Chain A
C-alpha cells in the first residue's frame, strides 16, 4: 500500500502503544476498540495542528478497512458523533484555546474532504462546516491571523466542493469576507493579503491565475 508510508509518518507523533493500536486499526480494524481509536485521533487532532491537516487520510483508510472487513462503520459513527459533540462546544473551545479551535476546524474540514458517501460529500457535515467557516469570518475572528489563515486554507482545500453542495451559503460567507477585507479596521496586512487571495481564488473559479499566483507567491520582485 502506497499510503502506508504517509500514515506511518503521521502516526509518529503518538506514543508507542498508540502507534501499535493505530497500525492494527489500519490493518485489522475489527480486532481493536474503534471507539477508542476514533477518540485518540480526535484528541490528537485537537492538540496537533500538523496532524489535524492530514488526519482525514488515516480516518479514510480505517473506514475503508472496516467496510471491507465486515461491512461495518463503527469507526465512522463514533468519529462523526465525537465531531458533533465537539461542534456543540465550539464556542467554549474557541474561548478556551484558539489553537484547539483552529485544529478542530481543520480536522472537520479534512474529514469532510476525505470521507465520502458513494463519492459524495457527507450531507450531515455540510452545514456544520459552513458554520465553522462563518464563525472564522466574523469580525472578531478576522482579527486573529491564526483564524484567517485557517479559514483561507480550508477554503483552498474544500471551497469548491462546498460551493457545489450549497452555493447560497458560500455566497453568504463571501459577503462576510468582502466586508471584512474592505471595511474592517485593524486587520493586519497579512490578514488582508490572505483575504484578497481567497477572494481572487473563488472569483477565478477556485483557481488562481498564473499572474495572481506570481503576485502572491513569488519572491519580492525588483
Chain B
C-alpha cells in the first residue's frame, strides 16, 4: 500500500470522527464515503453529512409515520462527481425496484399454484406487492443508510466469512428490506439493530492500522455482488430448506423477519415433508 493511500485513509478516519456521533470504534472501520466511493473528497462529504444529521434530528422528534414527500432531504450537491453518484444511486434504486417487483410476481405465481393444492387462504405476496414502498425519496434515504452500514470493514468481513447460504435468520445480521412499508421509527430501529449485529465482525486488531488496511486489499468481488442481500429470499429454492427451520425459530425479537410472507413460505415448504 502506497503512502498516499495510507495518509488519505488516516485523514478519512480523523474527519469522520467529527461528524459521527457513534463510537469511535465504528468510525474507525469506515472505508468509503456514504455513496460507496473511497473517501477522497473530504470537504464535500463533511458538508453532506452535517446537512443530513441536521434534518435527521428534526425528523426524529416527530411521531408521525414517515412521509418525506418528493423533496430530497439532502440538497443536491454542486460538484459533478457527487451529482453523477446520486444519479447512479437513483437509477440503481429504480432497477432494484423492478427486480423486486419481478420477484414478488414470481412468488405470487407459485403461491397461487400452491394455494390450489394446499388450500391455504389468502396470498400474502400480493399484499406484499401492494404495500411496497415506492417513494423515491424514502428509498434513496434508506439506501443511503444501508450503504452506510455496508461501507464498513465489518460488513466486508462478514460477507466474506459467512457465505450467503450459511446465514441464519436471527443469528446473522440481515439487511433490512427497503421495499417494505415501515414507519420511520421501525425502519431506523431495524437499521440500528442491523448495524449493532454487524459490529460482531469488526476487525479485531484495533491497535495495528496496517492489519486493518490489509483487509481493504482483500476485498473481492463479493462486495460488488452485495446488492443481492437487499432482497428477501422469497423465491430462492436452494436457500429454502436450510433457512426455513431457523427462520421459524427465531421470529421473536426480529421484527424485520416476522412477516406473513416468510411464515406462509415456511408452512408451504414444510408441508411436502409431512405429507
Q: Is B a genuine binding partner of A?
A: yes
The distance in angstroms between the C-alpha atoms of A69 and B38, with both chains bound, is: 12
| Size bin of chain A's contact surface | 20 to 34
Query: A19 within 8 Å of B by Cβ?
Result: no
- Which A residues are CB-close (under 8 A) to B85? 73, 77
Are the CB atoms of A77 and B40 closer together than 8 Å? yes
Q: Which residue of B lies closest to A72 (CB)?
A: B38
Are the CB atoms of A81 and B224 closer together than 8 Å? no
Q: How far is the CB of A31 from chain B (nearest CB, A)?
A: 7
Q: Which residue of B lies closest to A84 (CB)?
A: B80
Interface string of B178-221 (1 = CB under 8 A from A): 00000000000000000000000000000000000000110101
Q: Say what secondary structure dominates the interface of chain A.
A: helix
- Which B residues are CB-close (under 8 A) to A70? 38, 216, 219, 223
Are the CB atoms of A80 and B81 closer together than 8 Å? yes
- Which B residues are CB-close (under 8 A) to A76? 81, 84
Q: Say what secondary structure dominates the interface of chain B.
A: helix
Given A33-B2, A117-B84, A117-B87, A77:B217 Cβ within 8 A: no
Query: A156 within 8 Å of B by Cβ?
Result: no
Are the CB atoms of A124 and B2 closer together than 8 Å? no
Are the CB atoms of A74 and B37 closer together than 8 Å? yes
Q: How far is the CB of A113 from chain B (nearest CB, A)?
A: 15
Are the CB atoms of A117 and B40 closer together than 8 Å? no
**B contact residues vs A (CB 8 Å cutoff):** 1-2, 4-5, 32, 36-38, 40-41, 79-85, 87-88, 91-92, 95, 216-217, 219, 221, 223-224
Give 5 closest A-B pairs by Cβ, nearest first: A77-B81, A124-B83, A80-B80, A80-B81, A84-B80
